[in-house]
Amino acid sequence: MTGSLVRAALDRAASVGAGREGLNILVAVNPHAVADAESAAARGGGQRLLEGVPVAIKDNIATLDTPTTCGSRILAGYVSPFEATVVERLRAAGAVVLGKTNMDEFAMGSSTEHSAYGPTRNPRDPCRVPGGSSGGSAAAVAAGIVRIALGSETGGSVRQPASFCGVVGVKPTYGRVSRYGLVAFASSLDQVGVLAQSVEDAALALGIIAGRDPRDATSAGRDVPDYRSAVRRAATGTTPLAGVVVGRPREYFPDGLHPGVRERCDAALNTLAELGATIRDVSLPHTTYAIPVYYIVAPAEASSNLARFDGVRYGARVQAEAVTAMYDATRSHGFGAEVTRRILLGTYVLSAGYYDAYYKRAQDVRTLITADFRRVFAGGVDLLFTPTAPTPAFKLGSISDPYEMYLNDIFTATANLSGVPAISVPIGTAEGLPVGGQIIAPHFGEASMFAAAAALEHALEHSPGAPPPSAPAS
């Protein structure tokens, strides 16, 4: 049995066409995966939580055995000399890194179309996007290659692709998981997240990677609850959510919401009520400013973080006679259009004369968005339920307007701006495509979030009227 799970995953990847000519999910495969599984089993004695289980890692999370390129030409072939804390913790639990997944370049995108490797296709419908920027990780889970994959979140880049691909996606509280080894996009927003085939798988993985890391000053020294036990308790009993108050924020259910998404969300709220929860209408009034705030704060931080990619220290270099010409040539060749756009925007809002008008004001409004969540949770609401994305997955190439693309983050960016945890759970289909429902919890409230998500997942799976789940491509 040693290495059998890894071999099965590699076979599955081949059968669904996970390479460049097919779904374009994996941008690098660990050539030592089977050997790693065998040696890990010998060391671990078969007693660890993820013994021999293959996992996929987003291409912006550092690994020793495969390149870390962030989906960009500027890091083509780059292999990190160290490994991310989250990868170390997965390996310590017995997991085997199968390979790296495709992504929007430097995690800047909502469709995984902005990648130097080309777009990833949604396993549920190859004519559609898998979401982004963690689209490759979501697709790896949806296609049945792995049960668990790591992604990263800056404005919804785990939850939105989870919704589009019909899998579970978790964004933890800011500071719950170490960012050491995650290539920085916007440091005050970035987080490592989990994509999985079930709520229990996601809870198991988050429990393994969470916790204080002395190498990351922003990681929190908080005890990590047993998320898996919370999930298992919630999946039993007729009213597992008795006494739980679930808020329905009116700003997340606008008149223009896709009718199929609204229908599935209304049905999910009814299911939560049947499970014992009390549903209460609430307001998060500053939600309307989330997209403008996010697209000032994130590009501003990106312009600073990406300044290190200059052709001097590591990564690609385009030779030129003068140093400044080399900088210009390297960055012009190495960065794609979307990354360039955000660097320019970020540099502008941080420039003299505009810092106070844009960046400082955006941070002030960010504080108001965070205060909205604190007020609602302090007012007796335990959890919030919203759509994850405003529509099901859209067709490849169908959105060319950057602002229209940015609106895909409208229901997810607030959790990143405020640092609260959130999870996307499949709640059915609309027009034959997966729809995700989002549960948001107070800071460090992952255990109650997982419990509610597991109860909802269990109820929907066993509901006589529930639509059958979409089958992965084969």
CATH number of the domain bearing residue 21:
3.90.1300.10
Q: What are phi and psi of 250, to 5 degrees?
A: -65, -30
pLDDT at 146: 98
User: Is there a single domain that holds both residue 197 and residue 91?
Assistant: yes
User: Is there a single domain that holds both residue 211 and residue 310?
Assistant: no
Spatial distance between the Cα atoms of 131 and 391, rounded to a whole number of angstroms: 11
Q: Could you say which of 360, 387, 402 is where a domain stops?
A: 360
pLDDT at 297: 98
Tokens of 367: 């504080």
Determine which one of 58, 111, 134, 198 is catalytic: 58
Spatial distance between the Cα atoms of 15 and 25, rounded to a whole number of angstroms: 12
pLDDT at 45: 64
Q: Which residues of the chain have pLDDT under 70?
A: 1, 44-46, 464-474
Is 426 in a helix, a strand, or coil?
A: strand
Determine which one of 72, 115, 152, 157 is catalytic: 157
Determine which one of 111, 133, 178, 219 is catalytic: 133
Sign of CA dihedral 447, 221, 185, 410: positive
> What range defines the domain where residue 72 resides?
4-283+372-461
pLDDT at 46: 67
Tens digits of residue pLDDT in 226-275: 999 999 999 877 789 999 999 999 999 999 999 999 999 999 999 999 99
Q: Could you say which of 322, 340, 360 is where a domain stops?
A: 360
Q: What are phi and psi of 428, to 5 degrees?
A: 135, -160
Q: Does 177 reside within a domain? A: yes
* 27-53 burial: b if 16+ Cβ within 10 Å, else e: bbbbeebbebbeebbeebeeebbbbbb
Q: Are 441 and 425 in contact (CB under 8 A)?
A: no
User: Is there a single domain that holds both residue 102 and residue 172?
Assistant: yes
- Enter the DSSP assignment of 250: G
Compute CA distances 370 → 301, 415, 447, whole Å: 19, 8, 21
Q: Are 427 and 436 in contact (CB under 8 A)?
A: yes
Tens digits of residue pLDDT in 415-448: 999 999 999 999 999 999 999 999 999 999 999 9
Q: Does 470 reside within a domain? A: no
Q: Does 472 reside within a domain? A: no
Q: Does 473 reside within a domain? A: no
Q: Does 474 reside within a domain? A: no
- The Cβ of residue 126 has, within 10 Å, a number of other Cβ atoms equal to 17
User: Is there a single domain that holds both residue 61 and residue 193?
Assistant: yes
219 is catalytic: no
Spatial distance between the Cα atoms of 408 and 88, rounded to a whole number of angstroms: 32
Is 173 in a helix, a strand, or coil?
A: coil
pLDDT at 468: 45
User: Is there a single domain that holds both residue 114 and residue 188?
Assistant: yes
Among 381, 189, 377, which residue's Cα sits nearest to residue 290? 189
Residue-by-residue DSSP string for 97-149 = EEEEE--SGGG--SSS-S-TT----BTTBTTB---SSSHHHHHHHHTTS-SEE
Parallel, antiparallel, or unpaired for β 191-196 and 168-171?
antiparallel
CA 235 from chain center: how many Å? 24
Instruction: Look up the pTM and report it.
Output: 0.95
Report which secondary-structure segment, H or E, holds 348.
helix 337-349
User: Is there a single domain that holds both residue 177 and residue 107?
Assistant: yes
Q: Are 170 and 78 in contact (CB under 8 A)?
A: no
Q: Are 150 and 161 in contact (CB under 8 A)?
A: no
User: Is there a single domain that holds both residue 297 and residue 391?
Assistant: no
Spatial distance between the Cα atoms of 463 and 385, rounded to a whole number of angstroms: 19
User: Is there a single domain that holds both residue 89 and residue 231?
Assistant: yes
Q: Are 396 and 129 in contact (CB under 8 A)?
A: yes
pLDDT at 472: 42
Spatial distance between the Cα atoms of 410 and 425, rounded to a whole number of angstroms: 17
- The three-point CA angle 238-242-248 to 5° equals 115
Q: Does 391 reside within a domain? A: yes
Among 141, 134, 140, which residue's Cα sits nearest to residue 155? 134
User: Is there a single domain that holds both residue 28 and residue 152?
Assistant: yes
Q: Could you say which of 360, 392, 416 is where a domain stops?
A: 360
Structural domain count of the chain: 2
User: Is there a single domain that holds both residue 330 and residue 386?
Assistant: no
User: Is there a single domain that holds both residue 299 and residue 331?
Assistant: yes
pLDDT at 474: 35
Location of structure tokens 């509901």: 463
Q: Omega into 474 within 30° of 0, i.e. cis?
A: no
Spatial distance between the Cα atoms of 175 and 257, rounded to a whole number of angstroms: 32
Q: Does 381 reside within a domain? A: yes
395 is catalytic: no
Compute CA distances 368 → 93, 198, 280, 458, whole Å: 40, 34, 22, 36
Parallel, antiparallel, or unpaired for β 422-430 and 168-171?
antiparallel
Compute CA distances 273 → 269, 270, 337, 452, whole Å: 6, 5, 46, 11
Q: Does 468 reside within a domain? A: no
Spatial distance between the Cα atoms of 376 and 71, rounded to a whole number of angstroms: 39
137 is catalytic: no
Tokens of 195: 């994509």
Tokens of 103: 């992504």
Spatial distance between the Cα atoms of 121 and 125, rounded to a whole number of angstroms: 8
User: Is there a single domain that holds both residue 159 and residue 260?
Assistant: yes
